[in-house]
Amino acid sequence: MSMQMRIHGDCLVGRGQDRDGPFSLRGKYDAESNWVSLDKAYPWLVVRYEGEWDGQMIHGISRIEAVGFFDTGTFEMWPLKDDKERQIQQEPKALPEPAPA
């Protein structure tokens, strides 16, 4: 699986691709507790991930619920960048106001 994720305030958004096809990502990130709740949505299925960012990876429990189907398991997601970039990058909630001219 490869994906891109961004955090805007406490909202997490992104997209990616794996062997099942393209997907979108939407979720929440709590910077105080490092808790992550994330939905990976394909056109036909949603996988829910809940876990913790430990500074190196996000790990926790995944869950799939569909009509007539249920599955759960553990997961780990980590960046493939060098150590300098191994962190969840938070973007500012709002841009600063421009200085008066």
41-76 pLDDT, tens digit per residue, is 999 889 999 999 998 889 999 999 887 888 999 999
The contacts of residue 6 (CB under 8 Å, 6+ apart) are: 12, 13, 14, 89, 91
Across the chain, mean pLDDT equals 82
Distance CA 29, CA 37 (A): 7
* Domain ranges (residues) in the chain: 2-91
pLDDT of res. 65: 84
pTM (2 d.p.):
0.72
